[in-house]
């Protein structure tokens, strides 16, 4: 465990607590809550005493049905006999379930840079080795480099699209190439799609499970935390190869027994509303995103903002010799704004900062970005 990095969100959170009035552009959550259709299912659920017992390890059948309907209608994925559905306590649990099921100690999992820090942490906790593969200047995948990284120890390639922390969205063509590498090399494609609804400027999300012949080597992870404002409810969803089901069920039964059944009941209501619930909020995010880009353009002589067509993040690249955590600490102490250092996402060669614009209303984001621009001007330019 000492080899596992400390989660950065609590570290930055403690900085914020020591400096009241700080605006956080750090944590990746949305500013809205669950749909009423989710809340409305809870009263009837609580009235039935049978609902207060353990549920199935893999989740309740009614939520499986709602998830399968969502996959068919929104993702173009038809679950078949080679698939199994599993409900988890968030997509993070889905990921570590997959690592437990796939790996032996010293096995390798390929992570494109920048990685989602909890993925790297889970791999390290399992006594496996994360193999880090650079991306291009816009954080897009280099599929040739990914294939060169495959060894006899490789068990999976991980993709996160839309991406946390970069906001990059991978095209259908690129994801098909990744999936084909996994098929040919006898490894798994772990496809994290937690931000599937958050795309802009006509860019579309693609689910790798749509690919013909992908069922036996593709693990797809979904989440209700972002799209439906249900982060604390801890509901994630897995579409997995049938061959992995028993191993994943063992892992989940040991850690969790079953996902919280009351949260699963609420999730049914959320999935019945579907993407229509999220779309009105996306228009507001698009406006905030445009404002953030406009303000960041004032820093273009030392700050590069790679293209980000999804999620609600930008991963800034600063032309400075300063350490990213030093910059984060000064921004909090001196300017009252918090961001996340790129080192926690594996970007330790240079100065990178992740900013998130999903958790706050437009006016507060504008104030926070204003503080960030003023702070970076003074810190970097001196």
Per residue in 82-107, pLDDT tens? 999 999 999 999 999 999 999 999 99
Kindly report the CA angle at 209 between 204 and 214, in degrees rounded to 5? 135
Q: Note the pLDDT of residue 243.
A: 98
List alpha helices for 79-158, DSSP H: 91-102, 117-125, 143-148
**Local confidence band at 74 (pLDDT 50, 70, 90 cut-offs):** very high
| pLDDT value at 342 more than 90 | yes
**Local confidence band at 295 (pLDDT 50, 70, 90 cut-offs):** very high
pLDDT tens digits along 102-148: 999 999 999 999 999 999 999 999 999 999 999 999 999 999 999 99
Distance of alpha carbon 307 from alpha carbon 224, whole angstroms = 25
Q: Averaged over 309-313, what is the pLDDT?
A: 98
pLDDT tens digits along 345-356: 999 999 999 999
Among the CATH numbers 3.90.1150.10, 3.40.50.10330, 1.10.260.40, 3.30.420.40, which is that of 8-28+276-381?
3.90.1150.10
**Local confidence band at 7 (pLDDT 50, 70, 90 cut-offs):** confident
Percent of the chain with pLDDT over 70: 100
Q: Note the pLDDT of residue 200.
A: 97
Select from 301, 345, 292, 339 the least CA-distant residue to 320: 301
Instruction: Share the mean pLDDT of the chain.
Output: 97
pTM above 0.85, yes or no: yes
| pLDDT value at 259 more than 90 | yes
Q: Averaged over 259-288, what is the pLDDT?
A: 96
Q: Averaged over 172-188, what is the pLDDT?
A: 98
CA distances 263 to 34, 249, 266, 267, 361, Å, are 11, 19, 5, 6, 26
For the chain, the domains span 8-28+276-381, 36-273
Q: Which residues on adjacent β-strands are paired with residue 188? A: 156
Percent of the chain with pLDDT over 90: 97
| pLDDT value at 360 more than 80 | yes
Q: Note the pLDDT of residue 246.
A: 98
**Local confidence band at 27 (pLDDT 50, 70, 90 cut-offs):** confident
| pLDDT value at 382 more than 80 | no
Q: Averaged over 245-254, what is the pLDDT?
A: 98
Domain boundaries 36-273, corresponding CATH code: 3.40.640.10
Q: Write out the two tokens for 224.
A: 């209700």
Query: What's the distance, CA 236 to chain centroid?
Result: 11
Q: Note the pLDDT of residue 260.
A: 96
Which runs of E-coded beta strand occur in the chain?
23-24, 83-88, 108-112, 129-133, 154-160, 188-192, 218-223, 236-241, 303-304, 313-318, 337-338, 340-341, 351-356
First to last CA, the chain: 39
Distance of alpha carbon 179 from alpha carbon 175, whole angstroms = 6
């Amino acid at each position: 465990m000492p080899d596992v990095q400390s989660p950065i969100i609590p570290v930055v959170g403690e900085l914020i607590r020591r400096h009241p009035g700080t605006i956080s552009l750090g944590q990746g959550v949305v500013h809205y809550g669950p749909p009423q259709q989710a809340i409305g299912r809870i009263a009837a659920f609580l009235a039935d005493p049978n609902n207060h017992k353990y549920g199935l390890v893999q989740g309740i059948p009614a939520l499986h049905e709602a998830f399968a309907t969502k996959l068919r209608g929104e993702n173009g994925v038809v679950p078949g006999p080679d698939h199994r559905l599993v409900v988890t306590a968030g997509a993070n649990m889905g990921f570590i379930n997959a690592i437990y099921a796939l790996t032996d100690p010293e096995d390798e999992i390929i992570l494109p840079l920048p990685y989602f820090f909890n993925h790297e942490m889970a791999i390290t906790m399992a006594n496996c080795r994360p193999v880090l593969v650079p991306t291009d200047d816009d954080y897009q995948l280099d599929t040739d480099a990914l294939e060169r990284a495959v060894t006899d120890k490789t068990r999976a390639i991980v993709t996160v699209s839309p991406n946390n922390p970069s906001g990059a969205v991978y095209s259908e063509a690129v994801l098909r190439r990744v999936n084909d590498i996994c098929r040919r090399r006898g490894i798994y494609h772990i496809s994290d799609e937690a931000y599937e609804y958050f795309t802009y400027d006509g860019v579309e999300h693609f689910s790798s499970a749509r690919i013909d012949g992908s069922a036996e080597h593709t693990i797809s992870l979904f989440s209700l935390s972002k799209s439906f404002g249900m982060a604390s409810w801890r509901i994630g969803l897995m579409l997995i190869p049938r061959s992995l089901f028993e191993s994943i069920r063992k892992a989940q039964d040991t850690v969790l027994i079953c996902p919280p059944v009351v949260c699963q009941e609420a999730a049914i209501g959320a999935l019945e509303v579907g993407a229509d619930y999220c779309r009105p909020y996306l228009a507001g995010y698009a406006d905030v995103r445009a404002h953030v880009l406009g303000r960041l353009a004032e820093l273009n002589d030392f700050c590069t903002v790679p293209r980000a067509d999804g999620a609600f993040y930008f991963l800034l690249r600063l032309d400075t010799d300063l350490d990213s955590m030093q910059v984060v600490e000064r921004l909090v102490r001196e300017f009252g704004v918090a961001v996340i250092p790129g080192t926690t996402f594996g970007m330790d060669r240079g100065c990178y900062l992740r900013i998130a614009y999903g958790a706050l209303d437009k006016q507060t984001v504008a104030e926070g970005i204003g503080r960030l621009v003023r702070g970076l001007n003074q810190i970097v330019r001196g």
